[in-house]
Amino acid sequence: MRPYEVMIIFDPTLEDEAVRAEVDRSSELIRSRGGNPGRVERWGKRRLAYEIRRHREGSYVVLEAQAEPATMADLDRALTLADGVLRHKVVHLPEKATGKPARPLGTVGPDSGAPTSESAPPAPEPASFAAGTASETSTSRESTNSQANGEIA
């Protein structure tokens, strides 16, 4: 499971009970799919940086959770379809924010350190286009043309 933070901006005309019900629905979706919903912070109504759906303010809620990526994709879809949600953002928290070491790239599973594949061989050096001088290049071109015409050099 990975740590996530979800910020949700609700329609400011919604009652507190409707906002609470939507947050509970989101927490239950995470819980039902094996995740662990964490702390919920209700920031209340705040002024928006720009107008969204003809609203200049919104009710902000921040939800923390531990869940699998598929669970958070389902939550993202549910929040997109919810009528009372003006905007939302699901963010995977980095190691610095959680205090737990992140899984190294190329490893399998949540805690294993086994690489996913064999070490890749180093990439070959790029070919140099300026290998010869201009006179060498024209000489080799002339000999190639003469061989094509049946002439012997």
Q: Where are the domains of the chain?
A: 2-98
Residue 94 has a pLDDT of 85
Task: Please state the rounded mean pLDDT for residues 63-83.
Answer: 95
What share of the chain in percent tops pLDDT 90?
59
Residue 104 confidence class, pLDDT cut points 50, 70, 90? low
Distance (Å, whole) CA 61 – CA 9: 6
Residue 1 has a pLDDT of 87
**In whole numbers, what is the pLDDT of the chain averaged over residues?**
80
Fold of the 2-98 domain: Alpha-Beta Plaits (3.30.70)
Task: Please state the rounded mean pLDDT for residues 40-49.
Answer: 94
CB atoms within 10 A of CB 7: 15
The answer, yes or no, to whether residue 28 has pLDDT greater than 80, is yes
Between vectors from CA 105 to CA 99 and to CA 107, what angle results, nearest 5°?
100
Instruction: Dump pLDDT digits (tens) for 75-100.
Output: 999 999 999 999 999 999 986 666 66
pTM: 0.62
Confirm if 79 and 7 have CB atoms less than 8 A apart: no
